[in-house]
């Protein structure tokens, strides 16, 4: 079975400071990892994904994530946070061995609050 953990319900950061939203995963095979963002009363917007290759993945809106196989982590980062980044962030994983299509298992979400 595949699972994702987002250990922080909320992350607070000052605008202009770097931000990190943590994610760890568990899969049987090779992980396919994703980050999505959700604004209030909206669907999910894709930010970035890791399938294979370079451990540092760059995505939309200046976000990036670092895949660490030994620590089974896929933390989301941004060098300089903006107030407009305030939203709910979801990490998701798909096991390459499940054959379940793009069935994703999501973490519980981390509320990011960027303050002036």
Interacting residues toward other proteins by CB under 8 A: 32, 34, 36, 41-46, 49, 51, 90, 100-109
DSSP string, the chain: --EEE---SEEEEETTS-EEE--EEE-SS-EEEEEEEE-TT--EEEEEEESSS-SEEE-GGG-EEEEETTTTEEEEEESS--GGG-EEEEEEEEETTS--TT--EE---EEEEEE-
Token pair listed for 71: 């620590």
Instruction: Report the nearest approach of other proteins to the CB of residue 109 (Å).
Output: 7
Instruction: Report the nearest approach of other proteins to the CB of residue 50 (Å).
Output: 11
Instruction: Report the nearest approach of other proteins to the CB of residue 114 (Å).
Output: 23
Nearer to other proteins by Cβ, of 38 and 73: the residue is 38
Instruction: Report the nearest approach of other proteins to the CB of residue 49 (Å).
Output: 5
Nearer to other proteins by Cβ, of 25 and 81: the residue is 25
Cα–Cα distance between 116 and 10 in angstroms, integer?
A: 17
Nearer to other proteins by Cβ, of 5 and 75: the residue is 5
Nearer to other proteins by Cβ, of 13 and 110: the residue is 110
């Amino acid at each position: 079975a595949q699972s994702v953990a987002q250990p922080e319900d909320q992350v607070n950061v000052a605008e202009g400071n770097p931000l990190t939203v943590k994610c760890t995963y568990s899969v049987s095979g090779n992980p396919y990892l994703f980050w999505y963002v959700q604004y209030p009363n909206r669907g999910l917007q894709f930010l970035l994904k890791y399938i294979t290759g370079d451990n540092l993945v760059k995505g939309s809106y200046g976000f990036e994530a670092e895949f660490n196989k030994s620590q089974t982590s896929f933390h989301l980062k941004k060098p300089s946070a903006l107030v407009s980044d305030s939203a709910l962030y979801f990490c998701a994983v798909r096991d390459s061995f499940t054959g379940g299509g793009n069935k994703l298992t999501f973490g519980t979400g981390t509320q990011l609050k960027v303050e002036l």
